[in-house]
Amino acid sequence: MPKCILCGRSPRKAELSELSYPSKFLTVYSLRIKILYRRDHSLKSYTVHAQGAVHILGMGNGWHKIPCFPLAKLRRPQHTIGVLDGKLYWDDFPHFDHDCKDPECDGLGLTPGEINLLMGITPAERQPIDARTRQTVLDRYGHQCARCKVSDDLEIHHRRPVINGGTNAPDNLVPLCYRCHTQHAGEFTERFRPDLKSIFLNAEMRSPAVSETT
C-alpha cells in the first residue's frame, strides 16, 4: 500500500478507488532512475495527495528540500524532491551517515559505476605497477609517505581510481605508508561529483521520458 510522502498516511479504504485520479493523488517517480537513465519510473511504495503537492509544484522545476513524514527508515527531517514539468521525483538514492567534510555531500551514495555512467568515464584495466614507474614515484617523493613522511611500509596509491579510469602514469601515483593508505587515502584521491541537479533538469531534453510502472 503506497504512503503519502508528505503526511505518511496510506490511502483510506474509501480513497483506494481514487488512486488513479490525478485530482486526488499524484504519481511519485524515482529521482535515481530519472538521473541515471533519463526515464520515468513510478514508485509503488509512495504517492502524494494532490492537494498537498500544490505548493511543491508551485516552486517550479528544481531540486527542493521539503519537510516530509519520516517514511520507512528515513530519519531526515527534510527530503529532496525534484520537480520537472509538473511531475514529482522522490530522492531514492541511498544515503549514508559518514564523516564527510564536503557540505554538498549529504551522505549521497553513488557507486563507481553510476559515477562513470553520469560522467562518461570508461574504467581502466588494472595493471601491475612496473618497477621503473614505482622507482620514479618514490624518487619524486624522497622515498617518503606523501602524508606523514615516514619511509617504512610504502605502498603506491592511485589518485584517480582505476575503476574511474585511473592509470599507472607516474602523475597519477603517490606513495603512502600502510597506515595512511588504509586510513587517509581519500585525502589524495581525485573526487568525482556529477552535477546531479543539472542532469535532472536537463533529463527531458537529453532523452525522451519513457513511462514505466513497477
Q: What's residue 62's pLDDT? A: 93
Q: What's residue 104's pLDDT? A: 57
What is the mean pLDDT of each successive set of 10 residues along the chain, which is 214 residues long?
88 85 92 94 93 93 84 64 95 73 64 92 94 97 97 96 96 97 95 90 65 40
Residue 204 CA, distance from chain mean position = 19
C-alpha cell at 65: 528540500
Q: What's residue 193's pLDDT? A: 85
Q: What's residue 7's pLDDT? A: 86
Q: What's residue 145's pLDDT? A: 98
**pTM for the structure as a whole:** 0.77
Neighbour count for residue 194 (Cβ, 10 Å):
18
C-alpha cell at 125: 584495466
Task: Pick the closest to residue 161 from 202, 195, 109, 121 (CA basis).
Answer: 121
Q: What's residue 75's pLDDT? A: 56
The 3-class secondary structure across the chain, one letter per residue, is: CCEECCCCCCCCHHHHHHCCCCCCEEEEEEHHHHHHHCCCEEEEEEEEEHHHHHHHHCCCCEEEEEECCCCCCCCCCEEEEEEECCEEEECCCCECCCCCCCCCCCCECCCHHHHHHHHCCCCCCCCCCCHHHHHHHHHHCCCCCCCCCCCCCEEEEECCCHHHCCCCCHHHEEEEEHHHHHHCHHHHCCCCCCCHHHHHHCHHHHCCCCCEEC
Do the beta carbons of residue 61 and residue 85 sit within 8 Å?
A: yes
CA distance linking residue 159 with residue 189, whole number of Å:
4
